[in-house]
Amino acid sequence: MKVLVLGAGNVGRAVAWDLRDEFEVYVGDISEDRLRAVSRFATPLRVDATDFNEVVEALKGFDLAVDALPGRFGYRVVKASIKAGVDMVDISFMPGNPLELRDDAEKAKVTIIVDAGFAPGLSHILMGRIWHELDDMSEGRIYVGGLPKEPRPPLYYRITWSPKDLIEEYTRPARVIRDGEVKAVDPFERIERVKLRGMEFEAFLSDGLRSLLESVRTEKLEEWTLRWPGHLEKMKVLRELGFFRPEHVDKTLEVITPLMTYESPDFTIMKVFGRGTIEGEPKEIGYLLYDEERDGFTSMARVTGFTASIIARLVAEQSCIYGVIPPEILGMRIDTYTRIMEGLKEREISVERWENASPDNS
């Protein structure tokens, strides 16, 4: 089976590497340097993602594609996969709503799993499992972070993914559920202190719930992204001064990206929990994930890319119906949930489940 991974960055490289022994893997990108880096285990293919027709033509002849491009390309790439008639696993975190393309995908008999990375992605799978197990869920919350183990001033953050997508987290209103209704709030509405695994973080509201806003019925649902203390206040000031406006963001990134580009092992951490009832009795179900950089891959590339590659295998086996499918559906199904959790364990990504008592006591 031929698989095309679009995007030869850190995450795309992890996806291609994980699929290399079971599939005929190609990697598409416009950068010759990035393509050379993947040529040891995949066939490089020059693809210009800004050209819709070129992406459509590139997809033809493949059985499956994985979109690991930056979010600004995501919606068009999903449309291209539908036009080409090729199944796709998408991890781009696109600004648009891919669920709008459901009917088109069903008519084309194409399966598209969207937001199939870490968060959104694995976070949704775990929340979908929690929601399915509870008779009635009153509250759900996600805490997630990808951070350097050795943070450096002045910004205490290391970029391991698209810098523009990072800035968008601070500018895009965060959609949450409060009092049973979807509301859009300022991501810097408040900054909280959170302790996990003995470490203290800052947390801000992020717009990562996406399809969960439609598929999970609850009174309260929020996603919080974690940073080391000292980062968020600086980002908040830059935003308030206008440095993140579209006309200024490229220049801003020229200045701040080098401050967040340095050598330091990274780690990822995620806590997902839901509270409600089972047979009338109060119940809390949750998961705690922790992973570190290893084997030449950043932890963010591991948890994002390997989640996507595990899901790609499910799609290749035709385990999913036609249409645009959000990842929480895979969590609600016991068969796909079990396969994903087993796959993570095989790749030494630690996910601990608890009921009624959080293992980190926070």
pLDDT at 159: 87
Q: What is the pTM of this model?
A: 0.94
The segments of the chain whose pLDDT lies below 50 read: 361-362
pLDDT at 359: 66
Q: Round to whole Å and give the CA distance between 201 and 203.
A: 6
Q: Round to whole Å and give the CA distance between 301 and 306.
A: 8
Q: Is the dihedral of CA 306, 310, 311, 313 positive or negative?
A: positive
Pick from 119, 166, 137, 135: nearest CA to 303: 119
User: For 132-160, what is each residue's pLDDT tens digit?
Assistant: 999 999 999 999 999 999 999 999 999 87
Pick from 280, 126, 105, 286: nearest CA to 216: 126
